[in-house]
Amino acid sequence: MKENLIFGSYYHGIYMLRFDTDTMYLSNPVILADVALATYFDISETGNIYTAMAEKSKGGVGSYNLEKNRLTVLEKHLSFSPAPVHINIQGELLLASNYNGGSLNIFKFSSKNRFELTDIFINNGVGTRPQQNTSHIHYSGLLPDNRLIVLDLGTDEAIIFDISATGKLLNLVNVYKFPNGFGPRHLCIANDNCHIFVLGELSSEVAVLRYAKGSLILEQLVSTIPGNYLEYNGGGAIILSADKKFLYVSNRGHDSLSVFEIIYTSGNLTLDLVQNISSFGEFPRDIAIDRANKYLFSANQKSSSISIFEIINGRLEYVTTKDNVDMPVCIKFIS
């Protein structure tokens, strides 16, 4: 089976590689589009790619159509604000989170390819760590009840809104405060739709929270790195296995991947760290699982490499590393 892997790069743009699941061969990258600061992107159901982009003093979101190994620009929404650090397509909405500026831009798809800005949220505040001198929105997404959750790394907050189907913010429902210095970055929703896993970039922890009707309750905090590791580490990516029985986290600094088993007992949920394995590359900023759900890929930004791991009963077994891949920072599989 052959699969297409796309990655965004700080260095040059957006690239594609071919992966053969039978031979585990990963091809050399081919550039699809020269996009400055393609830090994050998402792929719509139609196969269009929506990426963070910057042009001169402007930043925003661009949409591209993939055809014959080239990305053709369809539309750009640029303004005099920073390029988003995270883009999340949620049904008919596109959510663009801006780390620099502490803002969230909400877009609504108005047709098959076009999208329009419908609302903006700007947060304010500070945290306790030097990296938290201002608001840094790092993630936004829809919860199981279709409320909007916004993670602010700078203020240690999860902010929950009611939001309309047309992308308009309605009521502010709740502001949940994480422990000081946690630095919420990204999240995953558990299989029971009652728990969410939030990665703390600054504290190198995963928070397990129970969610109900706009409220969050902290049930567990687990470290993603060994307790005797005292050097710098920043949490990178957090994803669930296809069966949602395991949770994977990348550690930038410790340069490792942590594997947690998700344990359900009598309506409760806990995480159990079952493995911590080298990322076989420096600064693993993003991770992704292939469409066959057999392999996990680690995008190692500072070593310009992508490492491949076979998934065996949830755990990871190292396969190989593809070097000379220009500073990969976001990776996804596409049909």
pLDDT of residue 178: 98
Nearest to 31 by CA among 67, 7, 47, 10: 7
pLDDT of residue 45: 87
pLDDT of residue 83: 86
Burial of 254 (0-12, 13-18, 19+ CB in 10 A): buried
pLDDT of residue 102: 95
pLDDT of residue 1: 87
pLDDT of residue 117: 96
For residue 40, the one-letter residue type is: Y
pLDDT of residue 266: 81
Q: How many CB atoms lie within 10 A of CB 127?
A: 23
pLDDT of residue 169: 98
Q: How confident is the model at residue 182 (pLDDT cuts 50, 70, 90)?
A: very high
Q: How many CB atoms lie within 10 A of CB 79?
A: 12
Q: What is the mean pLDDT of residues 298-310?
A: 97
pLDDT of residue 11: 79
212-271 per-position pLDDT tens digit:
999 999 999 999 999 999 999 999 999 999 999 999 999 999 999 999 999 998 878 999
Structure-model confidence comparison of residues 278 and 12, the more confident one: 278
pLDDT of residue 317: 98
Q: Is the pLDDT of residue 109 over 90?
A: yes
pLDDT of residue 67: 86
